[in-house]
Each structure stands twice: as C-alpha cells, then as structure tokens.
Amino acid sequence: MHQASIGEVPWDFKVDGKTGRLFTNLTNLNKELRPFLRLDTGQRIVGIDIGECQPFLLGMLLLEQARSLWPEGLPGDVSHFLDLTESRSFYRFLMDRCGIAEGERDAFKKTIFGGIFYCSDWKAEHPDNLAGRTFIEHFPSVYTAIKGMKGRDRSTLPIQLMRKESEIVIHGVCRQVAEMGDEGFFLATIHDCILTTEDKADIVEGLLGGIFMKRYGRVPFLNREEIN
C-alpha cells in the first residue's frame, strides 16, 4: 500500500492479490465524473484502452496454450476468433447473427460475459441463451477451451484475464515508462485504460502495441479518447 496526496485529497493505491489489478481513486471514480479531471499543468488528458479487451486477452491466453490444446495447429474457428477480436469486430459479428442493433451493444456485452465467459456451463449451453448458442456454433473450439479454463470454478477465467491485463498494463507499459526516468510523464491507469497527456499518447500506444507484438505477434485495436 502506498499513499500520496494531491492538494487536500489523499490518494490510495492498492493491488488486488488475486487479479493483480491496481485500485486507486481513479478506478473508483464514477465514469460520468472523468471529464472533470484536470492536471495542474493544464494539459489535456487522453485515455488509451484496448478495444474489446477481455475477448482479445482471451485470445492471447488461447495462443499461450495453443500447443497443448491443438498440437496439430490452430482450428479455423480459433483463427477467426483471433482475427475478430484483433480488429474489434467480435461483438459486431455476434450481434449481426443474433439480430442485435448497435444501440444495444453495451447490454449485449454484458450478455456475453454473464452468459458465456463467466458463467456455469449449463447457462452458456441453455437453449434460451441465444448469444451462447450462436457463440458455440461459430467458435466450438474456443468454447471447449473456455470450459477447460474454467474447470470447476467459473471465477478462474475472469481472474486469469484480469491478471493478463495487469501484466500488460501495470508490469508492461507502466514499468517501461517508469524506467524512462521522465518525471514530467503523467501516467495513470483505470484497469485496461491508460491515462496520459496528449503529447505522450503516441509513446504509450507504441509501448502497448509493442508488448503485444513481441509476445503474441498480434496488436489489438487501441482506442484513444479525450477525457476532459
């Protein structure tokens, strides 16, 4: 635990032992309040996050285990899944096949997590679970791997994905920025989103993309959004 202070506001830093995620005042801040964040320097803050982060990181876990899962080579549906998540097209692909409108994207994402990735097998395979049935139909090898990753505890997979996120963002990008020794380099994280100033955004994107390329040979779609 490390505690700093900005003005009259104490800042807390706490790492979750299971997931490796870093929790601070920023991660606990209501999303609607983020546009009001300001730096004393007056510089604008931008957020850089991994597009379709959890599905993409799932793909990276599949690549790490590919030799043991598929010794004869990646099945076609796995390659398709990797391509979709890399190009930020995975949700759109499933939504089109489920007849879901773009305006329902956020709700549909929750359906994917609660009805496929993070739930018990019976729920994902239930006849009334349209998203689950569609996913299994198009990505059978991916789904089989997901079941294996969950084992007997459905919390196993989300913990693995969050640890992978922390490994990339905290121990990857943040560590490299710290090693630069640039005291004027503003950097903060909200899990898979990295906050920095406009003039440093290209550097952060380069570091983030470089880590993925070196480890997996694939780079996710990176969103850049002005926070304030």
For residue 27, is it left (φ>0), alpha (ψ between -120 and 50) or beta? alpha
Domain span holding position 111: 53-158
- Per DSSP, the three-state class of 191 is coil
Asked whether residue 115 is domain-assigned, the answer is yes
Q: What is the pLDDT of residues 77-100, one digit of tens each?
A: 999 999 999 999 999 999 999 999
What is the pLDDT of the chain when averaged over all its residues?
92
**Structural domain total, the chain:** 1
Asked whether residue 211 is domain-assigned, the answer is no
Asked whether residue 220 is domain-assigned, the answer is no
Asked whether residue 30 is domain-assigned, the answer is no
pTM: 0.89
pLDDT-derived band at 67 (thresholds 50, 70, 90) equals very high
Asked whether residue 215 is domain-assigned, the answer is no
Both tokens assigned to 113: 């997590």
Asked whether residue 151 is domain-assigned, the answer is yes
State the pLDDT at residue 13.
87
Q: What is the pLDDT of residues 185-223, one digit of tens each?
A: 999 999 999 999 999 999 999 999 999 999 999 999 999
State the pLDDT at residue 5.
42
At a CB cut-off of 8 Å and minimum separation 6, what does 172 contact?
207, 208, 211
Asked whether residue 75 is domain-assigned, the answer is yes
